[in-house]
Amino acid sequence: MSNLPNLFIFDFDDTLSVRGSCYPIEELAINQDQLNLKEINYNYLKTHRCWNRRMNEVHKKLAEQGIDTQQIIEVCRTIELSPGTHELFRDIIDHNGKIVIMSNACDLVVQECLRAQNLLQYVDKIESNPVRQTDPVIVIDEYENPLQTTCQFCDPNLCKGSIIDQYRKRNLYDRMVFVGDGDNDVCAALRMNKTDYVFAKYDETSEKQVYDTMYDLLKNRYFQQLKTELFMASILTKRITSQISSMNKRQFFTWLNAIWNRYDQKRVQEIGPDRACAEWLLRCGGAVRFKNRQAITTDYNAIPSGGPGQQKVEEIRAVKACITSDGFAYLKGLTDLRKVHLEKCDQIGDGTIARLKQSKDTLESVALIDLPQLTENGVGNLTELKNLKQIDLARLPGVKSRDGIVRLLTNELPGCHVNYDDSYPHAPELQEK
């Protein structure tokens, strides 16, 4: 396992913050009509497309109404962040993570907001448009100098994808996790590698379940270009990581595993149970073998193409993977699963083995190796799998009566060879992980 830290890169407006930082600033105007936002927005959309220049026009109009810099700074300090942000940042740092804020607002806005809420101490770097002067009026310079002209997603003043590339070239991080919401976050998401993670915010509180722009674009227009898996994250609306608080303060990465293992019925209906099962395993660090194929598929992007039912999962292999019992719901609907190998998966327990019964009509081989949470009760569930021909067991510290479990399996499954051998060889994948 790498000793390098994981890098968490967060968009700020509408991702960490409940709403865009421009709104409370604009609401300072004594006379909204004189602020002339219609003209300012027209100039932004049709003329320059530089967010910093748009905000400079806002600051100028506010100054004309007697709103000074200190008032704007005070408003920045009151920007509402999603509940749970403090816990999220602290858990990332506790797990050897680094935090970068990447925003098209400006460094002053992000700094003042985070400093006021005692969160700036957790942030390694803020990548944003720099404030050049604060008096008599705030002036924001472009992050990109000269302006960038190659990215179709980002404003000319700041390309988030190029920032991602800069961090990757430093080779200082094990993997990257990017979290965003809008169309200008698509570029950053597309720069993620297959070992990275992308979270796109969606609003699960809406009755219409409205998805934000980043998710829509990645899912419907640029999915083939996406190198890593796209996760929908309700935590990034108004209640970021509220799940952590509601689950007795379990650590962030335990919560993250729960997200990866969550059964997605809609996804199963879209692509079929076999591909959905493969996607679950691969995003959790496992692997699959499809019917009529010799090679094991370990790369998410190498899952064979084809409509529902065209590719059948015949073998599941999870070695030091972060799979949990919840994820085994994806076995439902598999009609050709013959072999399951589980090794050094610390979250596999007795309930997981019980869920193998979903494939009791086809399973022929099961290997349970180095599973510390597994007991006799879990292994005993294998007696329900009447078509088993081979069971391999090794290094199961929770099984106290080794002879007893072998006797049970042998009696209940007379056509199955039961091998309980602690010298069973370690999986070759362990040399790579």
Q: Which of 111-125, 203-217, 264-278 has the highest mean pLDDT?
A: 111-125
Q: Are 214 and 351 found together in one domain?
A: no
Average pLDDT score over residue span 107-116: 96
pLDDT tops 80 at residue 11:
yes
Instruction: Give a yes or no: residue 260 inside a domain.
Output: no
Per-residue pLDDT, averaged over 325-354, amounts to: 93
Instruction: Let me know if residue 261 belongs to a domain.
Output: no
Q: Is the pLDDT of residue 236 over 50?
A: no
CB 110 within 8 A of CB 128: yes
pLDDT of residue 248: 35
pTM above 0.85, yes or no: no
User: Do 148 and 17 sit in the same domain of this protein?
Assistant: yes
Q: Which one has a higher pLDDT value, 76 or 248?
A: 76
Is 147 found in the same domain as 16?
Answer: yes
409 inside domain: yes
Q: What confidence category does residue 85 fall into, taking pLDDT thresholds of 50, 70 and 90?
A: confident
Residue 264 has pLDDT above 80, yes or no: yes
Do residues 257 and 322 make contact, with C-beta atoms less than 8 angstroms apart? yes
Rounded mean pLDDT, 214-243? 55
Residues 278, 242 within the same domain = no
Catalogue the E-assigned strands of 181-299.
197-201, 230-233, 287-290
- Please name the amino acid found at residue 147: L
> 355: domain CATH number?
3.80.10.10
Digit-coded pLDDT (tens) for 292-313? 999 999 876 678 877 787 899 9
CB 273 within 8 A of CB 334: yes
DSSP 3-state of 415: coil
- Look at residue 386 and tell me whether its pLDDT is greater than 50: yes
DSSP string covering 189-219, please?
HHT--TTSEEEEEB-TTSTT-PBPHHHHHHH
pLDDT for the residue 422: 95
Domain extent at residue 153: 6-246
At which of 206, 230, 246 does a domain end? 246
Q: Parallel, antiparallel, or unpaired: how do β-strands 230-233 and 287-290 relate?
A: unpaired
Query: Is the model's pLDDT at 234 over the cut of 60?
Result: no
Neighbours of 87 (CB within 10 A): 17
Within-domain flag for 131: yes
Same domain, 173 and 293: no
Strand pairing of 176-180 and 6-10? parallel
Task: Verify that 184 and 314 share a domain, yes or no.
Answer: no
Domain for residue 181, yes or no?
yes
**What pLDDT is recorded for position 209?**
37
Whether residue 141 has pLDDT greater than 60: yes
Signed CA dihedral, 166, 167, 170, 175: sign only: negative
Measured in degrees and rounded to the nearest 5, phi and psi for residue 196 equal: -90, 180
Q: Look at residue 65 in the predicted model and tell me its pLDDT.
A: 97
Residue 93 pLDDT = 85
The radius of gyration computed from the CA coordinates of the chain, to the nearest angstrom, equals 26
Average pLDDT (26-40) is: 96
351 and 303, same structural domain?
A: yes
What percentage of the chain exceeds 90 in pLDDT?
A: 60
Judge whether 341 lies within some domain. Answer: yes
pLDDT of 340 > 80? The answer is yes
The pLDDT value given to residue 174: 84
Given pLDDT bands bounded at 50, 70 and 90, which one contains residue 259?
Answer: low
Mean pLDDT confidence for 116-128: 96
Q: Domains in the chain: how many in total?
A: 2
Which CATH number fits the domain that encloses residue 139?
Answer: 3.40.50.1000
Is 266 inside a domain boundary? no
Q: Answer whether the bond into residue 425 is a cis peptide, omega within 30°.
A: no
Same domain, 227 and 298: no
Structural domain includes residue 29:
yes
Shared-domain flag, residues 306 and 238: no
Report CA torsion sign: 21, 157, 107, 8. Answer: positive
Residues 37 and 126 in one domain: yes
Query: What's the rounded mean pLDDT across residues 343-363?
Result: 92
Is the domain of 197 the same as that of 288? no
- Kindly state whether residues 39 and 103 are assigned to the same domain: yes
Residue 216 CA to residue 56 CA, distance in Å, equals: 30
How much is the pLDDT for 215? 62
Dihedral pair phi/psi, residue 197, rounded to 5°: -135, 145
Nearest to 415 by CA among 364, 373, 378: 364
Domain termination residue (choose one: 231, 246, 261): 246
